[in-house]
Amino acid sequence: MESTNILIKKAKIVDPNSPFNQQVVDVWISNDQIVKIGKNLKVKADEIIDLKNIHLSPGWFDLRANFCDPGHEEREDLESGIHAAIFGGFTAVALSPDTYPSINGKAQIEYVYQKAEDFPVNVLPMGNISKNLEGKELSEMYDMFQAGAVGFSEAKNSLNNAALLKLALLYGKEFAPAPHIFCNESNLAKNGQMHEGVTSTTLGLKGIPALAEEISLLRNLHLAKYCECPLHIMGVASKEAVKILKQAQKDKITHSADVAWCNLLFTDKTTQNYDANYKVLPPLRSESDRKALVKAVINGHIKAITSDHSPVDIENKLCEFEQAQFGMIGLEAMFGALGLLREEGLTLEKIIECISINPRNILNLPVASISEGSWAELTLFDPDLEWAFEKEHIQSKSKNTPLIGQKLKGRALGIINKGMLVLMPT
Amino acid sequence: MSELSVNHLLGIKDLSRSDIELIFNTADQFKDVINRPIKKVPSLRDITIVNLFFENSTRTRLSFELAEKRLSADTLNFSASSSSVKKGETLIDTVNNILSMKVDMVVMRHPNPGAAEFLSRNVDSTIINAGDGAHEHPTQALLDAYSIREKHKNLEGKKVVIVGDILHSRVALSNIFCLQKLGAEVQVCGPTTLIPKYIKGLGVAVSHSLEESLAWCDVANMLRVQHERQELQYFPSIREYSQQYGITMNHLERLDKEITIMHPGPINRGVEISSEVADSDYSIILNQVENGVAIRMAVLYLLASKNKMNFKD
């Protein structure tokens, strides 16, 4: 894995911040740094990478994954989660704070950093907004930020207490990036199992109305406006929510938003035979919602695409739909799944922005560009490789994905980070 | 010999019109049987059927059990209160344990929508859905349609209104699918809070006036108010509900035609239906109950035939 002197031959650069964007060049990396970029570089390297159709972009960054560690190590732990990230081409992952116990203080932040230290993926914990995710009082945000929390969220709990969100926005304003808020009015969404629509009606399942998302979104944007604080919206899922975001932009309410890859690919029709692998939060909504989300990514109203990697063990998926837990794993297959959307107008460049550059901007983190002198945090990939995703590709301890056996387009070939190189056999 | 297109009865959704007609024609013969002095036939002798009830039920369970006994099947009853479910056993494990004791068919009632379909995909047995949450209750819909057919000969073009708590009702959903497959027009009627927002997507009309619905229909199916399924208070009081949606003789006498009144039971007298109406000639409530046994016999018999259980060498 350790390789300090690497030459990548004939790589196409996909990086809007690089002077070499869209060019096919050789890249020489030594001691954790990009030393030289150019055509036909003649350098002595320990490792020469010469792969067909190789592309290079700033290392991919997942804005939201749950590694269930501590608490549910039978589903995932930091190590298996990291391997899933590597397979998917990610050099950095922001961890959702809803572990058990949840990420409440300095000690938990330090635990994550210590455990992930020797791996080539930067595992970056987010902290809780409220103590124990109870929605009652603020957690020690400043202390956690000092210890390395990259941001704050309440995971997928609705912050019903508007006064508490107001405090969190104001309190974090001076030191933390915009808090990540999941919009889901919990009384309207109560006991909901899937998107409310004709399909949920036909299945007799209680629906999660898009209204629950929209009402909460409107409220949260108003709070952000009042506090003059930026806000990040997690997991946009409905067409109307996209409309609200557009209006918020016009009204100059500073915000950003992300969408989970599965909401870009699937609709509520997938649950027709009660396949709990499609039970996710936010729920998969209608085809018109899905199309609006894809368009919002293309137009830049949604800035980031996340894996929303949520491992669930088979015992909690192979059961009655109402008993099944929400969640789908996503790290390993996300890029290949997004490749399927290229025929809907989602360009490769846009995908790379949404999974590499924008997520770092959302968290106010520096973005490595592919230029001489920059530090080397890179993803190597083939965007056109068509391959079938199989169970053996899954590195996660949990296999809760409906993609097994599906054809995907595009695959990570390897990552370079922290002076380490990992190449994936394809 | 014609047979069903399905291997399980999970919902009306999966049945074709000819499946439904086959069930009705078979039920006709079983109805004759249960009206004879000797009410029993040997059709399912040596077949063991478990009635798995994860939710309270009296009449559906009795009706199934009777249907099984009239067909000479061996029956086994299992209810959730005495089960291992509360000890954390999965549904698949529970059923596989029972099946290991050489049980051939499973009749299941379960509080979760889709539980029967889930089970059919994960165990090796014939599954009959006796109600799964707010999803389907196929044998109820079959016996309801059968009872309408008995009274009105044909369902084609008939206008049927389903009145009451549509939001929490598996009976409503199965009835909608069944009646539509047989060519009837369906309307649902009830308080706005108990009508699903997207119900029109199933091709039914929506009304909020009992008077208007009764004037429109040939058949009114009055559903029971399901307090146990309501996690919220969907209407302020029973009194108000029955003022607006409780059917009385007054309603029926004002009509210029005679309509048929149905109810899947158990009835709340004085709430959704007055005693006079329930006991009147308009009502076919007790015929429904009788037909329930014949319909369930037909379903059990046809599924056993389809899965070649009763044709042993």
Is A320–B110 a contact, with Cβ atoms under 8 angstroms apart? Answer: yes
**Residue A425, pLDDT score:** 82
Q: Three-state SS for A378?
A: strand
Q: Which residues of B touch A323 (CB under 8 A)?
A: 112
Tell me what pLDDT residue B82 has: 47
Token duo for residue A311: 């491992």
**Strands A55-58 and A47-49, sheet pairing:** unpaired
Please check whether residues B151 and B266 belong to one and the same domain.
Answer: yes
Judged by DSSP in three states, A57 sits in strand
Chain B partners of A203 at a C-beta cutoff of 8 Å? Answer: 113-114, 135
- With an 8 Å Cβ cutoff, is A287 touching chain B? no
Please tell me the pTM assigned to this model. 0.95
B222 located within any domain: yes
Q: Which of B36, B87, B153, B197 is catalytic?
A: B87
Q: Please tell me whether residues A176 and A67 are part of one structural domain.
A: yes
Asked whether residue A347 falls in the same domain as residue A383, the answer is no
Residues in chain B with CB shorter than 8 Å from the CB of A205 are 113-114, 133-135
Same domain as A290, residue A142: yes
- A402 domain-assigned: no
* Residue B313 belongs to some domain of the structure: no
> Could you give the angle at which helices A239-250 and A287-299 cross, rounded to 10 degrees?
30
Q: Please tell me whether residues A299 and A415 are part of one structural domain.
A: no
Structure tokens at A407: 């054809």
Residue A201 is nearest to which of B115, B133, B202, comparing CB atoms?
B202
Cis peptide before A97 (omega within 30 of 0): no
Q: Are residues A254 and A381 in the same domain?
A: no
| Structural domain includes residue B3 | no
Domain match, B268 and B177 both:
yes
Q: A320 vs B122: CB contact, 8 Å cut-off?
A: no
Chain B hits for A273, CB-CB cut-off 8 Å, are 114, 117, 121
Spell B1-31 as b/e; 16+ CB within 10 A means b: eeebebebbbbbbbbeeebbebbbebbeebb
- Tell me which of B14, B109, B135, B199 to substitute to probe the interface with A (most A C-beta atoms closer than 10 Å): B135
| Domain co-membership, A277 together with A386 | no
Per the structure, the count of domains in chain B is 2
Instruction: Please indicate if any CB of chain A lies within 8 Å of the CB of B191.
Output: no
Between CA B60 and CA A61 the distance in angstroms is 55
B280 and B142 both lie in a single domain: yes
CB A357 within 8 A of CB A317: no
Among the partner residues A190, A203, A315, nearest to B114 by beta-carbon distance: A203
CA dist list (Å): B84 to B30, B79, B97, B117, B301: 36, 10, 11, 21, 30
Phi–psi pair at B92, nearest 5 degrees: -60, -45
Under a CB-based contact definition with an 8 Å cutoff, are residues A332 and A396 in contact? yes
Residues pairing with B53 in the sheet: B79, B109
Rounded Cα distance between A415 and A407, Å, is 23
> Running DSSP on this structure, what letter comes out for residue A372?
T
Tell me: do A46 and A158 sit in the same domain.
no
The residues, ordered by sequence, that sit 6+ positions from A13 with a Cβ below 8 Å of its Cβ are A20, A21, A22, A23, A24, A25, A27, A37, A55, A56, A57, A370
Spatial neighbors of A364 by CB under 8 A, at least 6 apart, are A177
Q: What is the pLDDT of residues A234-268, one digit of tens each?
A: 999 999 999 999 999 999 999 999 999 999 999 99
Shortest alpha-carbon distance between residue A319 and chain B (Å): 7
Domain that holds residue A307: 60-362
Strand arrangement, sheet containing B159-163: B205-207, B185-189, B159-163, B219-222, B260-262
First-last CA distance in chain A: 17
Q: What is the DSSP letter of A356?
A: I
A397 in a structural domain: no
B270 with B208, same domain?
Answer: yes
Q: Is A315 at the interface with chain B, CB within 8 A?
A: yes
Query: In the predicted model, is pLDDT for residue A38 greater than 60?
Result: yes
B238 and B259 inside one domain? yes
Q: Which residues contact B313 (CB under 8 A, 6 or more apart)?
A: none
Cβ neighbours for A271, distance < 8 A, ≥ 6 positions apart: A194, A199, A203, A205, A278, A279, A284, A321
Q: Are residues A299 and A354 in the same domain?
A: yes
Give the CATH number of the domain where residue B49 resides.
3.40.50.1370
A328-344 per-position pLDDT tens digit:
999 999 999 999 999 99
Instruction: Determine whether B87 is an active site residue.
Output: yes
One domain for residues B301 and B270:
no
Same domain, B191 and B224: yes
Q: What's residue B236's pLDDT?
A: 87
ipTM above 0.85, yes or no: yes
Residues 6 or more apart whose CB falls under 8 angstroms from that of B193 comprise B167, B234, B235
Tell me whether B112 touches chain A (CB under 8 Å): yes
Interval B92-107: pLDDT, tens: 999 999 999 999 999 9
Residue A410: strand, helix, or coil: strand
Burial-class residue A180 by CB neighbours within 10 Å (0-12, 13-18, 19+): buried
Closest-CA residue of chain B to A316? B90
Residues A51 and A145 in one domain: no
Retrieve residue B69's tokens.
Answer: 């006994």
A50 catalytic residue (yes or no): no
SS3 track for A298-348: HHCCCCEEECCECCCCHHHCCCCCCCCCCCECCCCCHHHHHHHHHHHCCCH
Whether the bond between A120 and the residue before it is cis, its omega within 30 degrees of 0, is no
SS3 of residue A417 by DSSP: strand
Do B102 and B119 have their domain in common?
yes
Same domain assignment for residues A30 and A171:
no
What's A240's domain CATH number?
Answer: 3.20.20.140
φ/ψ (deg, to 5) at A408:
-120, 165
Residue A152 forms part of a structural domain: yes
How many domains, in total, are found in chain A?
A: 2
Instruction: Report whether the peptide linkage leading into residue A366 is cis, meaning its omega lies within 30 degrees of zero.
Output: no
pLDDT of residue B313: 40
- Asked whether residue A45 falls in the same domain as residue A71, the answer is no
* B220 occurs within a structural domain: yes
Q: Please answer whether residues A14 and A56 qualify as being in contact, where contact means their C-beta atoms are separated by less than 8 angstroms.
A: yes
Distance of CA B176 to the CA centre of its chain: 11
Residue positions counted in chain A: 426
Chain B residues near residue A274 by CB distance under 8 angstroms:
113-114, 117-118
A183 and A320 in a single domain? The answer is yes
Mean pLDDT, chain A, rounded, equals 97
The reply to whether A401 falls in a domain is: no
- φ and ψ at residue A228, rounded to 5 degrees: 55, 45
In a domain, A396, yes or no: no
For chain B, list residues with pLDDT below 50: 82-84, 313
B230 touches chain A (CB under 8 A): no
DSSP 8-state assignment for residue A69 = T
CB under 8 Å to B3, separation ≥6 — which residues?
A: B22, B302, B305, B306
Percent above pLDDT 70 for chain A:
99
* Test the A interface: residue of B92, B119, B198 with most A CBs within 10 Å: B198
Residue contact B112–A320, C-beta within 8 A: yes
Q: Bridge partners of B126? A: B105
Q: Determine the structural domain holding residue B211 and report its residue range.
A: 138-284
> Quick one: B75 and B95 in the same domain?
yes
Averaged over A157-169, what is the pLDDT?
95
Which H or E run includes A34?
A: strand A33-38
Q: How far apart are CA B183 and CA B160, in angstroms?
A: 11
Residue of B86, B90, B108, B118 for testing the chain A interface, max A β-carbons within 10 Å: B118
A165 domain residue, yes or no: yes
Residues B147 and B176 in one domain: yes
Give the whole-angstrom CA distance, residue B31 versus residue B14: 25
pLDDT of residue A2: 57
CA atoms of A209 and A183, how far apart (whole Å): 12
Q: Helix/strand/coil (H, E, C) string of chain B?
A: CCCCCCCCECCHHHCCHHHHHHHHHHHHHHHHHHCCCCCCCCCCCCCEEEEEECCCCCHHHHHHHHHHHHCCCEEEEEEHHHCCHHHCCCHHHHHHHHHHCCCCEEEEEECCCCHHHHHHHHCCCEEEEEEECCCCCHHHHHHHHHHHHHHHCCCCCCEEEEECCCCCCHHHHHHHHHHHHCCCEEEEECCHHHCCCCHHHHCCEEECCHHHHHHHCCEEEECCCCHHHCCCCCCCCHHHHHHHHCECHHHHHCCCCCCEEECCCCCCECCCECHHHHCCCCECHHHHHHHHHHHHHHHHHHHHHHCCCCCCC
Statement to judge: residues B237 and B261 lie in one domain: yes
Q: At what angle do helices B91-100 and B115-122 cross, to 10 degrees?
A: 50
pLDDT band with cut points at 50, 70 and 90 for residue A58: very high
Query: What is the rounded distance in angstroms from the CA atom of residue A173 to the CA atom of residue A175?
Result: 6
A204, B132: Cβ pair inside 8 Å? yes
For the domain that residue A384 is a member of, what is the CATH number? 2.30.40.10
In eight-state DSSP terms, residue A284 is P
Contact residues, chain B, for A196 at CB < 8 Å: 197-198
CA A420 – CA A31 distance, rounded (Å): 10
A399 found inside a domain: no
One domain, residues B219 and B171:
yes
